[in-house]
Structure 1
Amino acid sequence: MPSPLPKRPLSNRPTHVIKKCQEQNRPAYIAGPMVRYSKLPFRELCRFYNVDIVYTPMILAREFVRNDVARYSDFTTNERDQPVIVQVGVSNVEDFMKFIEMIHPYVDAIGINCGCPIRDQIREGIGAALMSKPQLVANLIATAKAKYGDSICIDTKIRIHNDINETIEFVRLVEEAGTDIITIHGRTKTTRSSVPVNLDAIKTLRQHIKTVPVVANGDCFTLEDCNRIAEYTGVDGVMSARGVLANPALFTGLNKTPWSAVEMFMHLTTSYGLPYKLSQYHVVQFLENMDIPRRVIKEINECKNMIDMIDLLDKYFYLTRKSEKGFATAIDPQWKITLDSI
């Protein structure tokens, strides 16, 4: 018989982390779930820059509980991967309970996705489709809490309705059902990301949520954004997804991605493994946020494998390895050549 897993420390529970941040007179800094991109190397990179809580990508409960290939491909972790919230796309109680049974020893919270606006997900009855099924969401939470009680932590991540009163009723139901956290993306399922997030709606909902922490999601691209959102809405934490994807150091106050992020990410992705196209995408996002010339980024986008990308980075930059002095400490790009020569 394998030895039992050690219990997750209570200090890692997101509600405890949020409380600790409150004691520091600041909102909790949270890296949100992103399809494909919130994998283990990126999660650890975010923690390198003092992100308090990190999400996994959304995992489909139906596939996870039935298919061991899906389990191995969708979720990897290690002893440093904490605090972590696993986000789940689910449409029925049976799959949800099986999912929790399998995964809860490895995570610090389970996040129910009621916000993903992708049409395929909505057709499957998950993501934002759940915003029209408040009783189902409440039943998911209540059933899980009836079995596991305080041994699990549940976050309910929602969007808003066109009628804010409908959302007020939604949060009332899930709060009464026993959710531990409510995360609010201040857009409807049809609102484009180019439209500013509705902070007034988040503020209103915060005033109606009595007993659990509230996290705001949407339009957080700098630490200044984070503090402004928290102050205006009164929430306990602020989540960034697109912001940290481009700049995982944004909660440190750096408004452009530091060169250290490239070095640390290259170390993590080559140590843990990640599909090459995902690694390439992350590196390109970082470099674009540093205002690296388009010609260099184009060359990196044309690399076909990890070896070629490393060689190209080494051609243009001093890419320090972990064993070398000064690893992951530089702020500005460490050019080997002058920009005039590019």
Structure 2
Amino acid sequence: MIEPNLSTLPARNPEHNPLAILARCKKEKRPAFIAGPMVRYSKLPFRELLRQYKCDIVYSPMILAREFVRNDIARYSDFTTNERDRSLIVQIGCNNVTDLLRMCEMIYPYVDGIGLNCGCPVKEQVREGIGAALMSTPEKVAELVSAVKSKYGDKLCMETKIRIHDDLQETVRFAKIIEKAGVDFITVHGRTKTTRSSQPANFDAIKLIKENVSCPVVANGDCFSLEDAYKIANYTNADGIMAVRGILANPALFAGFSKTPWGAIEKFWDLASSYGLPFRLLQHHMDCMLEGQIDKALHLQLMDLKSTVEMVDWFDENFDLKRNNEPGFGERIEIPSRKNRLEMSHI
């Protein structure tokens, strides 16, 4: 990422401001569809893919402010963007005003909003007072929110992503404190920091928080289909629905597809090749998108591949993978298996 030259950068379109999107979706009588932050996996190629399948707002992976403001290499590796990367919220992991404001100064011309992570349960982050550790210090979170909003006001939309406490009244108090500090909207993950993802999200908790604050609230947890999104929104009255695990498995979730369409895989191949994506990240994305859609033997082969070149050859050997300049690119839904085609030719 280059340091901003504000005289040459175009102003952000106010229509891409997350608050404007939440308001527009409310007029359309639907929740905003939001792709949440995924460690390592919310990179630029995947973000661009999601926007082709009706995602209104997309998050970057969480970026540690401490590393970002001190290290050129961290800045280049953690954050890339372009003119199509809208509406974009960069999620920040931070526990002090100095680093947060320094990172905002570096990044705000390139984003439509920032999000403060108060929910990451990873032990290393919690030990450093980042992520879910902030759920026990609402006054500190309010200080961080207030510092950003005092400096930037409406020029920078600020979200805070929280989890719930065992005592839900404590969560309500937390939400009210950060709302008073000026946060623009709150995303609520309906689990505590110790709740496993295999346990259902607590939508009653999200509904309670929505009833007790005036700012928009986004519901996060257990959204694996468009039907889930509407059910969660109707139950909690949330202004937006965030999908994370669901959208990693099916980037076309908000477009109403029950599984990843083949066209999305072709488009992702094209984007990953154009922008560049480390092999292991590419492999993981393909693993998630194809899980349950190809037989186990093929899936094992996919996970045994050692390089992007091997993976391209493997796809071409087993499937009809169209390139961007070929007719029908990005349009098919079902997987075009070469094995099935060969079998049909012998009937």
TM-score, length basis structure 1: 0.97
Report the equivalent of 2:234: 231
For 1:64 and 1:320, the matched residues in 2 are separated by: 38
For 2:20 and 2:122, the matched residues in 1 are separated by: 32
Report the equivalent of 1:5: 9
How far off its partner does 1:137 sit? 0.4
Distance 1:326 1:339, change over 3 A: closer
For 2:8 and 2:71, the matched residues in 1 are separated by: 23
How far off its partner does 1:55 sit? 0.3
1:337 aligns with 2:339: yes
Matches within 5 A, 1:179-198: 179-198=183-202
Aligned residue among 272, 279, 284 for 2:282: 279
- TM-superposition CA deviations, 1:111-136 (whole Å, max 9, x none): 00000011111011100000001001
How far off its partner does 1:252 sit? 1.2
How far off its partner does 1:150 sit? 0.8
1:303 aligns with 2:305: yes
| Aligned AA (1:333) | I
Report the equivalent of 1:246: 249
For 2:17 and 2:337, the matched residues in 1 are separated by: 41
Report the equivalent of 1:257: 260
- SS across alignment from 1:338: helix
Q: CA RMSD in A?
A: 1.2
For 1:30 and 1:339, the matched residues in 2 are separated by: 37
For 1:82 and 1:101, the matched residues in 2 are separated by: 19
Report the equivalent of 1:31: 35
Report the equivalent of 1:153: 157
How far off its partner does 1:236 sit? 0.4
Matches within 5 A, 1:13-52: 13-52=17-56
Aligned residue among 85, 92, 108 for 2:112: 108
- SS across alignment from 2:228: helix
For 2:310 and 2:96, the matched residues in 1 are separated by: 45
Aligned residue pair count: 339
Report the equivalent of 2:77: 73
Matches within 5 A, 1:111-150: 111-150=115-154
- SS across alignment from 2:30: coil
1:317 aligns with 2:341: no
1:89 aligns with 2:101: no
| Aligned AA (1:330) | R
How far off its partner does 1:7 sit? 1.2
Report the equivalent of 1:169: 173
Report the equivalent of 1:218: 221
How far off its partner does 1:293 sit? 0.6
| Aligned AA (1:133) | T
- SS across alignment from 2:186: strand
List gaps (5 residues or longer) in structure 2. none
How far off its partner does 1:336 sit? 1.4
List gaps (5 residues or longer) in structure 1. none
TM-score, length basis structure 2: 0.96
- TM-superposition CA deviations, 1:193-214 (whole Å, max 9, x none): 000000000001100011x111
- SS across alignment from 1:29: strand
How far off its partner does 1:4 sit? 2.6
- SS across alignment from 1:80: coil
- SS across alignment from 1:224: helix
Report the equivalent of 1:61: 65
Q: Quick one: percent identity of the two aligned structures?
A: 55
| Aligned AA (1:146) | S
For 1:270 and 1:302, the matched residues in 2 are separated by: 20
1:268 aligns with 2:257: no
- TM-superposition CA deviations, 1:174-229 (whole Å, max 9, x none): 0000000100000000000000000000001100011x111000000001110000
For 2:277 and 2:127, the matched residues in 1 are separated by: 29
Aligned residue among 327, 330, 338 for 1:328: 330
Report the equivalent of 2:207: 203
For 2:31 and 2:151, the matched residues in 1 are separated by: 31
